[in-house]
Structure 1
Amino acid sequence: MTSAPQLLTDPFLQLPTETSVRVVWFTEFAGVNHTVTYGENLKLTAKANTTKLSRTREDQQSRVANQTKDGEVYQKPVQRDIWRHEAEVTGLTPDVRVNYRVTSVREDRENVSSGVFSLAATPKPDTPLKILLTSDHQLKPMTAANLQKVVETVGQVDGVWFAGDLVNVSDRASEWFDDNGGGALFPGLQGRAKYNMTHDGVNTTYTGGQIIQNAPMFTCIGNHEVMGRFARVGSLDGEFDDTIPRAVAQKIYRDKSLIDNSFNTNTYEEIFSLPKSKEGGKRYYAVSFGNVRLVVLYATNMWRTPNLDKKYRGRYQEAEKDFNNSENWGYGQVIYEPIAKGSKQYNWLEAELNSPEFKQAKYKVVMFHHPPHTLGDNIVPAYTEPVQIIERDGDNIKAVRYEYPKDADYIIHDVVPLLEAANVQLVFYGHSHLWNRFVSSSGMHFLETSNVGNTYGAAWGDRKREVPTGYQEDYVKLGDPNGLKPIVPTIAPLLGEDGKPMPYVSSNDITVFSIFDTGTGTISSYRFDTRKPDSEVVKFDEFKLKNRNFRSPTSSRSRGSFS
């Protein structure tokens, strides 16, 4: 007996405007007709456009369907056919929610429908909203519990801001849709996950939360949304790790595709409908949502291991075996999109910060992936172009090393001063898999709330970052390398072994989420101990954004417009 055909995902919301919103869903069949029915008694219909994802595959490391161990079904990357459907629902009134359902008709004429959810246009500027701030899901163990507790604690949120690293390997289809471990992205955000956690012999299954069926999500690119050279190696993990700078690819491959032979964000861009900027497309953009202007940057680089064992291609060196084969070099922690002063993205950002939409917004928020301030490991070395140093003994290469001059950190020396001058109230980011926050002398807040599914530790107390010795730069082992002190949570901080309050949450048992209440300007952070499934969610920190230089809107341009 075969199971009834299903949609690959529930529908989710994208690109709200003052009168419309996009509805997106996925199937594993092309079908012959795909529609959204909506409104009173679902009498209105919007027809969807269908496209096929071009690079979604499964491979040896996939955990999908009958493959529970490496190579059981797939011995190499194999294309997986997935179709994306998008319909625009129009004629909406701001702040009026409308029921909707999606239906896909298969080639055999069988109808497959979703449940009934609700949608709305972009909210009016004075509408109080609850926005989920999240990042770094990556199929990690506590993510489904985290999202389930969001809904149980605050109810339906009005929007989701996701600061990158949605999955681990962007072209691996099952990580987005149906990883059999229960941690895929869409099931968690749609309340369809089945993630089992066991503590002290007690098994608890977490389902995530029905969130993005009813609330639009705005995302930014993290390092895990970027894939490397296409099909040059034998696995998707290897392909993800096989990125090289565009300029190097140009020299090696000449007239061949730079996207195929350096790095790309094809799958990420095919999955999501996002606001676009003229200069950066979906990769960096700005959008007004209620009384907030959200500016999303493409600020991430290739994560490479800090391990200095000569067999590793890492952030500080090339592997010894590759010294004489430069095509296999990794070139350190490659920055994917320039953001230094004078770059196209920097110039766009400067113009956006001077736009009427930005200046007139009550709350000004900037989101990107790489941390400007953190206790996490991933902030070291500096966010700058790797400086290559090749050591030779005659014609023989003895070492290929990379330095990262701290005084050339583009985020700290170029971007942050621009944000300070523009009266940005909040910079939101991820990448280091912990919760911590900071505030500058001018009152600009920095929040990293990425201890969602797991952690890799904080550089605090006796735990130090893994940094090289004998290099030119003085790499910082403890604290925030960029000079700010972490803020101790204001309500219920966790206590360290010494009994003192800790200024961070770094745990593989306690998961954290944060909610931005735009009605009060308050950002509240919550924690849940997955070892105690019957325990309460604890609000442990809260702070309020200042209304710095806020003016009443006078521009005739739409606050829901994209730039």
Structure 2
Amino acid sequence: MVIISFILINVSVSNPLFMSSSPQLLTDPFLQLPTETGVRVVWFTEFAGSRHTVNYGEDLNHTAVATTIKLSRTREDRNSKVGKQTEDGEIYQKTTTRDIWRHEAEVTGLTPGKRVPYQVTSVRSDGQTVSSDVFTLASSPPAGTPLKILLTSDHQLMPMTPANLQKVAETVQRVDAVFAVGDLVNVPDRASEWFDDRRGVAFFPCLQGRASHEINKNDIKTVYTGGQLIQHAPLFPALGNHEVMGRFSMETDLKSQFSDPFPLVAAEQIYAQNAQELNPNNDPKVRQTWLKNNSFNTDTYEEIFTLPSSSTGGKKYYALTFGDVRLVVAYVTSIWRSPSLAANVKGKYRESEGDFHNPTEWGYGQHIFEPIKKGSTQYNWLEQELNSPEFKKAKYKVVMFHHPPHTLGENIVPAYTDPVQVIDRNIKSIRYEYPKQEDYIIRDVIPLLEAANVQLVFYGHSHLWNRFISDSGMHFLESSNVGNSYGAFIGDKQRNNIPIGYKEDYVATGDPNGLEPVVPTIDPLIDENGQPMPYIASNDLTVFSIFDTGTGTVSSYRFDIAKGGGVIKFDEFKLKQST
């Protein structure tokens, strides 16, 4: 008999609202990288410890010993909301390293299709033992196994995220996997955003049913705890722009570092000009470290997650088979810059006038982190993966990446292409153009996916729900209104600060790439004119989507925070048959 624990509060796991003098785990365990006969179990502590193990099996009589690493870049700063720091600068008055250890054990010898109980235990250096509750795990499901997969995105410590994930758990009971398409936190090196932000909205607590966030709507207060999901189901994330950290410093605050990534090519130019001073012995490791610290990195994301590793992209982009699904995860994201055209703004369309003569302070527009245009390393990998036997034989072919190819949202403009810098004579202005015909997603990636008979493209970034379908029957789903929305732009409602008088035409309303949004098939929202709306962009409604591989359907649900009540299924569509 399998015993499954659903206790939501346990003193063994840190909770900002329940402080204990006893030793604690920082997170519950969660599942990573399942294979045919095994799965990885990962958890975190704030102590190095002397021994960390997973006990598993019907009687918990099998043991796997964990390996431990210390996260290299996790820090807190004056803006952190953690422990006793409720206001800026109370405890952490400057950027400070926070020591966190990650433990990972590989559970092997599992029977495909069979769940078994497991429990993790960490022994501190002083001999005190800390254990988790008992959860269940399984190896990768065999083909033909009906699965329910959560499609989610853009958690970012948004206030409704705990409610969203709590409703997932109440509606589906237990999901079989979580596909998270980026923007998991806001500032990736700020440890508390992953583990224990005292506002009760950190990433892991929300997905483990250990969040604690109060929503006050219409004078009714409700505390939401998130859902106990990833203790039992593997998590497969994609990189969003909020998983990319900018130029490293122990002097400036973490948000400033996150907001200030430098293009690698610009950092390489500065390095080349100062190489003798920076690296007199021409040590390649010194060069690599300097370039990373002076451009951008995804170190914390890559240290936190165990993912399939592609030969060229490592953990940044990957593919795997899970049941009947071949999941292809691409690294398609760019730095978010303000659309403001004000003279003092370092934005997506221009540089601040005060920085015209100081290129080290330029933002270089909305620059792309990892190339995916035709001929790039990632494009070649993607093309090879789409032609692989594993991909071709899969019943369901799913591709996910962060940046939208089709949306009514704000963040699809400008085109997804390298900014073209235009410097007016005598530097009267420095602006950036984004040629629409060179949009790498639309020009290069989508034709690849169409030719490979991809059935579903899942993405986020604009914080809303909308979906589209191409002439070939390929579905596009953006289900990222988890915690809040930045709006939908259709009809008379126009995107903010669209440049006028620039060389390129920047689309103010509708999908810039030519598809019409699909009206929800079951229960669409109705606008003020009595017409069904093809989107959800609300700060009172939170949305999630479930992919049921048993029926081949994707169902979307909404929950009204203000009204309460039950979850409403408002849309459902079926994927076309694989060819």
TM-score, normalized by length of structure 2?
0.93
Provide the rounded CA distance (Å) in 1 between the counterparts of 2:563 and 2:201.
20
Describe the superposition over 1:101-131 as per-residue Cα deviations: whole angstroms up to 9, x where unpaired. 0000011111001000000000001100000
The reply to whether residue 398 of structure 1 matches residue 428 of structure 2 is yes
The reply to whether residue 264 of structure 1 matches residue 297 of structure 2 is yes
Unmatched runs of 5 consecutive residues or more in structure 1: 550-563
The Cα shift of 1:192 comes to 0.1
The reply to whether residue 380 of structure 1 matches residue 410 of structure 2 is no
The reply to whether residue 445 of structure 1 matches residue 475 of structure 2 is yes
The reply to whether residue 416 of structure 1 matches residue 459 of structure 2 is no
CA contact 2:116–2:137 (8 Å) conserved in 1: yes
The reply to whether residue 199 of structure 1 matches residue 217 of structure 2 is yes
Provide the rounded CA distance (Å) in 1 between the counterparts of 2:67 and 2:145.
31
The reply to whether residue 252 of structure 1 matches residue 252 of structure 2 is no
The Cα shift of 1:442 comes to 0.5
TM-score, normalized by length of structure 1?
0.96
Describe the superposition over 1:336-384 as per-residue Cα deviations: whole angstroms up to 9, x where unpaired. 0000000010001111001000000000000000000000000000000
Mapping for residues 51-450 of structure 1, pairs under 5 Å? 51-231=69-249, 234-254=252-272, 255=275, 256=287, 257-393=290-426, 397-450=427-480
Q: CA 1:56–1:313 in 2, change beyond 3 Å: closer, same or farther?
A: same
Deviates more, 1:237-246 or 1:209-218: 237-246
The reply to whether residue 41 of structure 1 matches residue 62 of structure 2 is no
Residue 42 of structure 1: SS of its match in structure 2? Answer: coil
The Cα shift of 1:3 comes to 2.6
The reply to whether residue 521 of structure 1 matches residue 569 of structure 2 is no
Corresponding residue number in structure 1 for 2:535:
504
The reply to whether residue 542 of structure 1 matches residue 575 of structure 2 is no
The Cα shift of 1:547 comes to 1.1
The Cα shift of 1:233 comes to 5.7
Provide the rounded CA distance (Å) in 1 between the counterparts of 2:59 and 2:298.
40
Residue among 469, 472, 480 paired with 2:503: 472
The reply to whether residue 531 of structure 1 matches residue 549 of structure 2 is no
Provide the rounded CA distance (Å) in 2 between the counterparts of 1:490 and 1:310.
45
Residue among 481, 491, 494 paired with 2:512: 481
Provide the rounded CA distance (Å) in 2 between the counterparts of 1:77 and 1:405.
39
CA contact 2:44–2:100 (8 Å) conserved in 1: yes
Which amino acid in the other structure matches residue 486 of structure 1?
Answer: P
CA contact 1:233–1:239 (8 Å) conserved in 2: no
CA contact 2:37–2:108 (8 Å) conserved in 1: yes
Describe the superposition over 1:372-410 as per-residue Cα deviations: whole angstroms up to 9, x where unpaired. 0000000000000000011133xxx21110000000000
Q: How many residue pairs were aligned?
A: 545
Provide the rounded CA distance (Å) in 2 between the counterparts of 1:55 and 1:333.
25
Provide the rounded CA distance (Å) in 2 between the counterparts of 1:526 and 1:18.
32
CA contact 1:253–1:261 (8 Å) conserved in 2: no
Work out the percentage of aligned pairs sharing the same amino acid.
69
The Cα shift of 1:75 comes to 2.2
Two-structure CA RMSD over aligned residues (Å): 1.0
Residue 41 of structure 1: SS of its match in structure 2? Answer: coil
Provide the rounded CA distance (Å) in 2 between the counterparts of 1:81 and 1:57.
8
Provide the rounded CA distance (Å) in 1 between the counterparts of 2:493 and 2:134.
49
Provide the rounded CA distance (Å) in 1 between the counterparts of 2:271 and 2:207.
40
Q: CA 1:233–1:503 in 2, change beyond 3 Å: closer, same or farther?
A: farther
Provide the rounded CA distance (Å) in 2 between the counterparts of 1:513 and 1:253.
45
CA contact 1:220–1:298 (8 Å) conserved in 2: yes
Which amino acid in the other structure matches residue 244 of structure 1?
Answer: F
Residue among 9, 25, 45 paired with 1:27: 45
Provide the rounded CA distance (Å) in 1 between the counterparts of 2:38 and 2:385.
24
Provide the rounded CA distance (Å) in 2 between the counterparts of 1:21 and 1:309.
51
Residue among 16, 33, 37 paired with 1:15: 33
Provide the rounded CA distance (Å) in 1 between the counterparts of 2:251 and 2:391.
44
Residue 69 of structure 2: SS of its match in structure 1? Answer: strand
Describe the superposition over 1:451-489 as per-residue Cα deviations: whole angstroms up to 9, x where unpaired. 000001001233210211111111000000000000000
